Amino acid sequence: MASSTLIFSLFALILIITTIPLSMSSPVQGFAARLIHRDSPESPLYDPAATRAHLAQSARRRTIARQNYFNRLMSSGNKWGSSLISATLDQGHGDFIMQYKIGTPRVDTFGIFDTGSSLIWMQCEPCQKCYMQTIPIYDPAKSESYQKVKCGSVECSTTAYTSCTEDGECKYRIEYQDGSLTEGDIATEILMLEDDGLSGNVNLSNMVIGCGHYNLDTVEDYSPGVVGLSREPSSLVGQIGFRHVSYCIPSEDKGSRSSVKIGLPAVITEENTQTPMLSGKGGLYYLSLEGISIGGARLNIPRSVFDMTPEGDGGVIMDSGTSFTLIAPEGFGAVKQAVLDALSEFKPVEDSDKLYPFCYDDGRFKLETTPEIVFHFTRLDFPLAAGNTWIRNSQGHFCLAIRESVGNFNIFGLYQHRNANVGFDFNNNIVSLKYTDCQ
Ligand SMILES: *[C@@H]1O[C@H](CO)[C@@H](O)[C@H](O)[C@H]1NC(C)=O
């Protein structure tokens, strides 16, 4: 159902990147925006009645949907710049939300913080069809700064999801594999990010957004929309043109609040914490992974399991929208076996939540005595903290928080880089990764 006439020119891309739409008298050097865990009491998505089993169920739905999304993205034979983006995406949304204000006057809203998406979109009145969300739906008729984008304009060509109607309106449609979709107008609007530590707040004017009048949410996500932070020109990061981005996601015991820092405040940690950032499909953040060790022994996994093919398929993606690291089937078997072997004194049990590959229900199980898993990125060995390797399921069993991928791609998930500062430096194409206090 890809209705899109794809307009995507390099010319437009360059123009957008060099136009920084900040409505500031003095140039803005950057800002930090608040991130909140979706299930924390501070979150607008917080459901006080949700049990651990409920939360596990919805995490499971999100995880499966997310895998389908990447599977589709990875298996599409199209090269970047062709119809890759018109392939159906999947609404496997992330665990953290980003709060911001929109319009004039400004109203509060939020979206899923998603480095794997390329558009900022939200449900919009009038709704031809909207799913339930926890705050009022944004109404562009009440905003003085809302402006629909015309066909043929630069803004209409920043995203590959767009098409033109006969009467010259610029529309977008993002279809998700699970049946979810969002469809509406491409518009420009002011977004205000409340800065978490700098100068109070920042107004970003003329930001290209997707205003969705027809939305289906089969994942029951209830988020008003998504804030895409991919490397594509249509994402938040792509549109404002800053060259540095960082974020740091705390574990639950360290609090549920965090921030994403863009521009000057972004933290790129020192050279021995850096690894190359590779380019690939969909503006995703690709890492160069050379191998994995468990309990000090390097696993015998061929490099090809982690490398992108010459066609740009596969590889290792760093993704804020995927909770648990996924390893391609050819490598996952070795990981699973090595962990089971190292813990052979315990008997593994099945995960009642059906989310993790295996669990332990044994009072003697201690995080401190589990084998250390080290990801050997190019020039950076990153040991997973035990707390980032194991998770308690709704029964309280300890489960391995790493899963087998449904396709030949790997994802370095959010749970595995909790309590670590993640820095993206687009000038030098590096990712820095260092454990820190995320507060
Ligand atoms: C952003 O816009 C709001 C609403 O007009 C205003 O109150 C605020 O001062 C602006 N922020 C900056 C930093 O200009």
Closest CA to 212 of 180, 166, 259: 180
Q: Per-residue pLDDT for 376 more than 90?
A: yes
Final residue before a domain boundary, out of 263, 296, 327? 263
Return the minimum-mean-pLDDT range out of 25-39, 96-110, 304-318. 25-39
Number of H helices, E strands in the chain: 5, 28
Q: Residue 226 forms beta bridges with which residues?
A: 112, 121
Q: Residue 214 forms beta bridges with which residues?
A: 129, 183
- Give the span between the Cα atoms of 318 and 15, in whole angstroms: 27
CA quadruple 36, 44, 140, 130: dihedral sign: positive
Same domain, 123 and 250: yes
> How far, in Å, is the centroid of ligand 1 from the Cα of 199?
11
State which ligand 1 atom lies nearest to the alpha carbon of 25: 14
> How far, in Å, is the centroid of ligand 1 from the Cα of 106?
9
Residue 32 · residue 258 · CB < 8 Å = no
Closest residue CA from atom 10 of ligand 1 = 203
- Give the span between the Cα atoms of 336 and 338, in whole angstroms: 6
Same domain, 369 and 426: yes
Q: How is the beta sheet containing 398-400 ordered, strand by strand?
A: 348-349, 359-360, 398-400, 390-392
Which residues touch 54 (CB under 8 Å, ≥6 apart)? 47
Q: Per-residue pLDDT for 56 more than 80?
A: no
DSSP string, 338-394: HHHHHTTTS-EE--TTS-SS-EE--TT--GGGSPPEEEEETTEEEEPPHHHHEEE-T
Same domain, 292 and 253: no
State which ligand 1 atom lies nearest to the alpha carbon of 203: 1
Q: Which two tokens stand for residue 396?
A: 């309280």
High-pLDDT (> 70) share of the chain, %: 77
Which of the 8 DSSP states describes residue 308? B
List residues near ligand 1 (CB under 6 A): 106, 192, 201-203
Same domain, 34 and 181: yes
Q: Per-residue pLDDT for 281 more than 50?
A: yes
pLDDT at 10: 30
Final residue before a domain boundary, out of 241, 263, 285? 263
Q: Per-residue pLDDT for 187 more than 90?
A: yes
Q: Where are the alpha helices (DSSP H) in 108-155?
A: none
Instruction: Confirm whether 416 is domain-assigned.
Output: yes
> How far, in Å, is the centroid of ligand 1 from the Cα of 27?
14
> How far, in Å, is the centroid of ligand 1 from the Cα of 108?
14
User: Given pLDDT bands bounded at 50, 70 and 90, which one contains residue 17?
Assistant: very low
Instruction: Confirm whether 20 is domain-assigned.
Output: no
pLDDT at 54: 64
Residue 231 · residue 244 · CB < 8 Å = no
Same domain, 257 and 273: no
State which ligand 1 atom lies nearest to the alpha carbon of 200: 13
Residue 156 · residue 170 · CB < 8 Å = yes
Closest residue CA from atom 13 of ligand 1 = 202
Which of the 8 DSSP states describes residue 78? P
Same domain, 146 and 244: yes
Residue with tokens 């993206």, as numbered in its chain: 424
Instruction: Confirm whether 351 is domain-assigned.
Output: yes
Q: Residue 100 forms beta bridges with which residues?
A: 109
Q: Which two tokens stand for residue 38?
A: 């979706």
Instruction: Confirm whether 25 is domain-assigned.
Output: no
pLDDT at 27: 61
Instruction: Confirm whether 7 is domain-assigned.
Output: no
State which ligand 1 atom lies nearest to the alpha carbon of 23: 14
pLDDT at 69: 60
For Cα atoms 98, 103, 104, give the angle at the middle one, nearest 5 degrees: 140
Q: Which two tokens stand for residue 88?
A: 């159906």
pLDDT at 61: 61
Closest residue CA from atom 2 of ligand 1 = 203
Residue to mutate (ligand 1; options 23, 31, 203; most atoms within 8 A of CB): 203
Q: Which two tokens stand for residue 352?
A: 């009642």
- Give the span between the Cα atoms of 118 and 293, in whole angstroms: 33
Backbone φ, ψ for residue 322 (5° rounding) = -110, 120
Q: For position 333, which CATH number holds?
A: 2.40.70.10
- Max Cα separation, the chain? 70
Q: Per-residue pLDDT for 347 more than 50?
A: yes
> How far, in Å, is the centroid of ligand 1 from the Cα of 224?
23
Final residue before a domain boundary, out of 223, 243, 263? 263
Count of domains for the chain: 2
Which of 22-26, 30-34, 404-408: highest mean pLDDT?
404-408
Same domain, 253 and 277: no
Q: Per-residue pLDDT for 312 more than 90?
A: no
Residue 257: Cβ-neighbour burial (10 angstroms; 0-12, 13-18, 19+): middle
> How far, in Å, is the centroid of ligand 1 from the Cα of 193?
10
Q: Which residue has the higher pLDDT, 173 or 1?
A: 173
- Give the span between the Cα atoms of 415 and 396, in whole angstroms: 17
Same domain, 198 and 226: yes
Q: Per-residue pLDDT for 68 more than 70?
A: no
Arithmetic mean of pLDDT, 327-345: 97
Residue to mutate (ligand 1; options 101, 201, 206; most atoms within 8 A of CB): 201
> How far, in Å, is the centroid of ligand 1 from the Cα of 194?
10
Q: What is the mean pLDDT of the chain?
A: 82
> How far, in Å, is the centroid of ligand 1 from the Cα of 121?
22
Beta pairing class for 107-114 and 225-228 = parallel
Closest residue CA from atom 6 of ligand 1 = 203
Instruction: Confirm whether 56 is domain-assigned.
Output: yes
Instruction: Confirm whether 230 is domain-assigned.
Output: yes
Q: Where are the alpha helices (DSSP H) in 91-166?
A: none
Residue with tokens 């699973």, as numbered in its chain: 336
Residue 40 · residue 256 · CB < 8 Å = yes
Closest residue CA from atom 12 of ligand 1 = 202
What is residue 322's three-state secondary structure? Answer: coil
Same domain, 239 and 288: no
- Give the span between the Cα atoms of 388 and 415, in whole angstroms: 6
Same domain, 34 and 121: yes
> How far, in Å, is the centroid of ligand 1 from the Cα of 107?
12
| Domain residue limits at 139 | 30-73+84-263
Q: Per-residue pLDDT for 355 more than 90?
A: no
- Give the span between the Cα atoms of 369 and 63, in whole angstroms: 28
Q: Residue 120 forms beta bridges with which residues?
A: 227
User: Given pLDDT bands bounded at 50, 70 and 90, which one contains residue 78?
Assistant: very low
State which ligand 1 atom lies nearest to the alpha carbon of 192: 1
> How far, in Å, is the centroid of ligand 1 from the Cα of 202?
7
State which ligand 1 atom lies nearest to the alpha carbon of 202: 13
pLDDT at 290: 98
Same domain, 281 and 257: no
For Cα atoms 393, 397, 399, give the angle at the middle one, nearest 5 degrees: 70
> How far, in Å, is the centroid of ligand 1 from the Cα of 237?
21
Residue to mutate (ligand 1; options 192, 205, 206; most atoms within 8 A of CB): 192
Instruction: Confirm whether 24 is domain-assigned.
Output: no
pLDDT at 175: 73
Same domain, 127 and 274: no
